[in-house]
């Protein structure tokens, strides 16, 4: 799978992809990263990629000519690649969308904006518009990298264990249960006894319950769309009673 970034700052992408899991995946040929700089398609000595907004207003708007030329190069490289525009007006990224994009297996072409945003004629060329949240960033590179990182985890071989991506937070619309490692006792804070018991059924139940507890306490909105299993209702009732008991202490 290839991730193509249409960006004015390819060095940001190159630096981010030069470390950790993504770098190892690139080195192993599991995925590839390529950048196209719209400035390479400008014709003036200043390599201008933006202009003032028609109708007046503050800031600068990205011009359609250099970005459309960059898109053409990206599509020539990957004719079936999906063009993804990073824009506040896009659909908010969620785990289901990540899994869908990963499952399609198509290359992704990221349109990374800056300044006051894209000329609308650039956005009209996008297949998908995505936002990573209700806040404003200085450019589209970070959101694009977030999407790539989330999708890369589902590419076979990128993670050490295939189950890792499936067990992460949000994969079942629940937050992940707490994790522990050695030392067993760290300054008086101990690993829960159940995790040391060797009783796999009890460990599985504890993890499920703690995942539900974390979701109920910190992201209750996720419970309405969670992939709940038989017995989860009883676990939730236990959690609610335990929380009530703590409030009454």
The pLDDT score that the predictor gives to residue 214 is: 95
Q: Distances from the Cα of 247 to the Cαs of 46, 233, 243, in angstroms?
A: 65, 21, 6
Other beta carbons less than 10 A from residue 212's beta carbon = 23
Q: Answer yes or no: are the C-beta atoms of 81 and 107 closer than 8 Å.
A: yes
Q: In whole angstroms, how far apart are CA 82 and each of 59, 85, 110, 138, 154?
A: 29, 10, 8, 23, 17
Q: Which residues of the chain have pLDDT under 50?
A: none
Burial of 55 (0-12, 13-18, 19+ CB in 10 A): exposed
Residue 167: predicted pLDDT: 58
pLDDT at 10: 98
Query: Where exactly are the structural domains of the chain?
Result: 2-162, 185-247
- CATH classification for the domain delimited by 2-162, as one of 3.40.605.10, 3.40.190.80, 3.40.1280.10, 3.40.50.970: 3.40.1280.10
- Cβ atoms < 10 Å from Cβ of 6: 28
Judge whether 2-162 and 185-247 match in fold: no
How many CB atoms are closer than 10 A to CB 25?
A: 21
Query: Residue 170's pLDDT is what?
Result: 61
pLDDT for 166: 58
**What's the pTM?**
0.87
User: Tens of pLDDT along 191-207?
Assistant: 999 999 999 999 999 99
Q: What is the pLDDT of residues 3-29, one digit of tens each?
A: 999 999 999 999 999 999 999 999 999
The CATH homologous superfamily to which domain 185-247 belongs is tRNA(m1g37)methyltransferase, domain 2 (1.10.1270.20)
Query: Could you check whether the bond before residue 183 is cis, i.e. omega within 30 degrees of 0?
Result: yes
- Report the half-sphere exposure of 190 (CA within 13 A, side-chain side): 6
> In this predicted structure, what is the pLDDT of residue 115?
82
Per-residue pLDDT, 171:
58
């Amino acid at each position: 799978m290839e991730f193509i970034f249409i960006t004015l700052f390819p060095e940001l992408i190159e630096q981010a992809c030069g470390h950790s899991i993504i770098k190892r995946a690139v080195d192993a040929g599991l995925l590839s990263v390529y950048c196209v700089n719209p400035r390479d398609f400008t014709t003036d000595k200043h390599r201008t990629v933006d202009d003032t907004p028609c109708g007046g207003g503050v800031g600068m708007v990205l011009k359609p000519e250099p970005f459309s030329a960059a898109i053409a190069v990206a599509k020539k490289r990957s004719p079936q690649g999906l063009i993804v525009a990073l824009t506040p007006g896009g659909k908010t990224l969620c785990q289901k969308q990540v899994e869908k994009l990963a499952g399609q297996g198509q290359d992704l072409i990221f349109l990374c904006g800056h300044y006051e945003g894209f000329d609308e004629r650039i956005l009209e060329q996008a297949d998908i518009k995505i936002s990573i949240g209700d806040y404003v960033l200085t450019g589209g590179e970070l959101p694009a990298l977030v999407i790539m990182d989330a999708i890369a985890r589902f590419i076979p071989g990128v993670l050490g264990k295939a189950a890792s991506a499936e067990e992460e937070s949000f994969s079942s619309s629940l937050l992940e249960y707490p994790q522990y490692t050695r030392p067993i006792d760290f300054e008086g804070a101990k690993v829960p006894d159940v995790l040391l018991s060797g009783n796999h059924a009890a460990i599985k139940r504890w993890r499920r319950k703690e995942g539900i507890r974390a979701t109920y306490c910190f992201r209750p909105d996720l419970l309405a769309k969670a992939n709940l299993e038989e017995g989860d209702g009883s676990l939730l009732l236990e959690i609610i009673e335990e929380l009530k008991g703590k409030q009454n202490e």
